[in-house]
Amino acid sequence: MIDEQYLDEGDGDSWMPIGDEHWMRCALSLAEQAAVEDEVPVGAIIVHRGRIIASAYNQREQLADPTAHAEMIAITQAASQLKSWRLLDCELYVTLEPCPMCAGAILQARIPRVVYGAIDPKAGAVESLYRMLNDSRLNHRCDVVGGVLAGPCSRVLTEFFENKRRLGKK
């Protein structure tokens, strides 16, 4: 898997390296959109060979669906786009450490690389509570990079919940 992609800046002669921070900023903008729509602000994108093929944010409230996490929606979109449940040559970027449900879906989809922003000490299944994506007892493992833009990813969540508490909603 190529860790560094390149983006054509438009003039054909200048190529700019794209790394994990660039893709995480894309996911972060989705998290911010979720907050505007009164959803827990988590955003996710799936990149296939240097191109975003799926983008989503939490929609549990809108869809009245407990499984409508950003990662789950993005995985479904990517599988549809690639016409395969195996998301090989893909990278998942998500602003919050995946929960057990999402980690299970990541493994089932065979996503080889996962990059996340903020840790989730209450439900994290990658580093915090469990280490599902690197469990040698399972038949698939992922390369994992955590903490990419952790500050901004954490901040959007903190501000969302502070605002909810201030309004007496959560």
The catalytic residues are: 71
Q: E strands of 99-152, at which residues?
A: 113-118, 143-145
Distance CA 153, CA 169 (A): 22
Instruction: Compute, in degrees rounded to 10, the torsion defined by CA atoms 85, 86, 88, 90.
Output: 30
Nearest 5°: CA angle at 118, between 91 and 15? 45
Q: Of 51, 58, 86, 88, nearest to 72 (Cα)?
A: 58
Pairing of strands 15-18, 5-8: antiparallel
What's the chain's Rg over C-alpha atoms? 16
